[in-house]
Amino acid sequence: MLTLKQITDNTDDVIRRLAKKHFDGKKLIEQVIEINSKRKNTQSVLDANLAELNNISKTIGALMKDGKKDEAEAARAKVADMKEGNKQLEADMKEAEEMLITILCTIPNLPHESVPEGKHAEDNVVEKTGGKMPDLGADALPHWELAKKYDLIDFELGVKITGAGFPVYKGKGARLQRALINFFLDNAREAGYLEIQPPYVVNTASGYGTGQLPDKEGQMYHANLDDLYLIPTAEVPVTNIYRDVILDKKELPIKNTAYSACFRREAGSYGKDVRGLNRLHQFDKVEIVRIDTPEHSYESLTEMVDYVQTLVEKLELPWHILRLCGGDMSFTSAITFDFEVFSAAQKRWLEVSSVSNFESYQANRLKCRYRNEDKKTELCHTLNGSALALPRIVAALLENNQTPEGIRIPKALIPYTGFDIID
RNA sequence: GGUGAGAUGGGUGAGUGGCUGAAACCAACAGUUUGCUAAACUGUCGUACGGGUAACUGUACCGGGGGUUCGAAUCCCCCUUUCACCGCCA
């Protein structure tokens, strides 16, 4: 969520920037300012009352010792009176604080100045393109048919065991998954990321910390009995490592990477877009997460984007990077670059990575801070990105590398798969 | 799952209901001394939200939430969690 300081110091600027996300924040911002000033006034009165109360309480002890019972009784009565009045003030404070958080949670992050205007995915700007488009014949098969032909992935079996969107990988299909995970983790480690193996279920506090709760509750699987959520991405447990933490500036930037299975309910989307591996309820992903200072976070963002580029290049996939427009960006992001790879038989671009800087928006909720040179605590910036999500990479690898002899494995991956062709 | 003992600042750890936002030690930081290092000495050393240009100052917080009391780190209740032993178990 945005900080009160951001809102009170640069009110007009905040409203203007929210408009880029097609969010009309004028009323809410005004409301925040009003409630906040009320909160301050209430606190001033309440603090003064409490100070007096504390003083009187101290004198009661002394009076009792001196045997001045009457005076002590009088003071006691007065205190009882004041406490009644404070109850209302305390309730007001609590209400104001809760209201502020509730409203702040409904206001999205401010887009960075460099975010392009636009409403939909079509308005995203192609930032960079690379790789070679494969030249497939007219009889090229989509990945779900290749998966069947070579017995790599069994979608129907997943339906039997669990339901749609939970595929079963078999043989070289399963080994390809394992190879990609290791390939991504090894690359991340070589790029300086610390490997983390986090829990796949998290509590509600963590859900709030990274902003899945309260609004996106329906997107996570929930274990009712224990009130725990299956993670939709490793970002959730890994970023929550730094919840309620004050870091030393020397530790920044923190660079973590984690593989996890990801679970997404994604209710209500069916059809061609979700065919095969295009959209799943359970999938594998290696995530990179950074915690950084505000001064350095955009440099970190560039490094992360460049790093992801090396991955798609090593996999020899045709790729491009999109700078997302204001309307297509996520609620919590200040700037997002999407990586898409071209899936040649489907003839469509598939999103395989999303690299974002959340600036202090997420850190504010997490209370993730660092101590600056003046020993003052300041909110960190948080960033994360997929590096990479497996299913669509697999889809593109299968489709783009199909030959009459079989499916060729890119050179960089062969040491991990242990085979160079799927036939 | 059962029983018992715990949870205090970055760490260790003290704390008869008022003199405790919290001893002491360690770590850290700044300085003095010193040819360098070390040692010694001096000082600083939790967070949040208010007030104040500032020095400073008010309030809240001793795992979390309630309660008792004029007053709670301290007493009571609930929850979480750690450790030990028992039970179960890959």
Poorest-pLDDT segment among A8-12, A72-76, A266-270: A266-270
- The pLDDT of residue A268 is above 60: no
Copy the structure tokens of residue A423.
């036939």
Q: How far is the CA of A369 from the C1' of B34 (A)?
A: 39
Was domain A4-104 assigned CATH 3.30.450? no
Q: Give strand letter and number of the nucleotide nearest A377 (CA to C1').
A: B47
Q: Give strand letter and number of the nucleotide nearest A44 (CA to C1').
A: B50
Alpha helices in A269-360 (DSSP H): 297-314
- Indicate the pTM of the whole model: 0.91
C-alpha A388, offset from chain centre: 15
Q: How far is the CA of A241 from the C1' of B45 (A)?
A: 26
Residue A26 to residue A225: CA distance in whole angstroms: 41
Among the listed residues A183, A130, A184, A127, the one whose alpha carbon sits nearest the alpha carbon of residue A301: A127
- The pLDDT of residue A270 is above 70: no
Residue A239 to residue A371: CA distance in whole angstroms: 18
Q: What percent of chain A has pLDDT over 70?
A: 98
Residue with nearest Cα to nucleotide B80 C1': A203
Question: Using an 8 Å Cβ cutoff, are A423 and A406 in contact?
Answer: yes
Q: How far is the CA of A135 from the C1' of B31 (A)?
A: 72
Q: How far is the CA of A369 from the C1' of B64 (A)?
A: 22
Give pLDDT tens digits for A19-39: 999 999 999 999 999 999 999
Q: Give strand letter and number of the nucleotide nearest A65 (CA to C1').
A: B18
- The pLDDT of residue A148 is above 80: yes
b or e along A190-224 (b: 16 or more beta carbons within 10 Å of the residue's beta carbon)?
ebebeebebebbbeeebbbbbbbbeeeeeebebee
CATH topology of domain A121-422: BirA Bifunctional Protein; domain 2 (3.30.930)
List residue ranges whose Cβ is under 7 angstroms from nucleic strand B.
A 4, 36, 40, 43-44, 46-48, 50-51, 53-58, 60-61, 64, 76, 79-80, 83, 246, 369, 371, 375, 377
Residue with nearest Cα to nucleotide B44 C1': A375
- The pLDDT of residue A224 is above 90: no
Q: Give strand letter and number of the nucleotide nearest A40 (CA to C1').
A: B50
The residue behind tokens 């697999």 is A394
Domains of chain A, by residue range, sit at: 4-104, 121-422
Q: How far is the CA of A373 from the C1' of B34 (A)?
A: 28
The ipTM assigned to this model is 0.84
* Residue A343 CB neighbours (<10 A): 26
Tell me the HSE value of A37 on the side-chain side, using a 13 A CA sphere.
Answer: 7
Which bases in strand B are touched by protein, i.e. have an atom under 7 Å from a CB? 10, 18-19, 47-51, 58-60, 70-71
Q: How far is the CA of A195 from the C1' of B85 (A)?
A: 36
Q: Give strand letter and number of the nucleotide nearest A54 (CA to C1').
A: B71
State the pLDDT confidence band at A353, using cuts at 50, 70 and 90.
very high
Q: How far is the CA of A195 from the C1' of B6 (A)?
A: 33
Q: What is the pLDDT of residue A86?
A: 85
- The pLDDT of residue A72 is above 60: yes
Poorest-pLDDT segment among A46-50, A169-173, A338-342: A46-50
Q: How far is the CA of A304 from the C1' of B16 (A)?
A: 59
Among the listed residues A358, A298, A311, A299, the one whose alpha carbon sits nearest the alpha carbon of residue A339: A311
Amino acid at A148: K
Strand A402-403: give its sheet, edge to edge.
A402-403, A406-408, A421-422
Check for a shared fold between A4-104 and A121-422. no
State the pLDDT confidence band at A71, using cuts at 50, 70 and 90.
confident
* Sign, Cα dihedral of A112, A114, A118, A121: negative
Q: How far is the CA of A241 from the C1' of B7 (A)?
A: 20
Q: Give strand letter and number of the nucleotide nearest A5 (CA to C1').
A: B49
Q: How far is the CA of A83 from the C1' of B76 (A)?
A: 22
Q: What is the pLDDT of residue A84?
A: 82
Rounded to an integer, the average pLDDT of A174-200 is: 95
Q: Give strand letter and number of the nucleotide nearest A50 (CA to C1').
A: B59
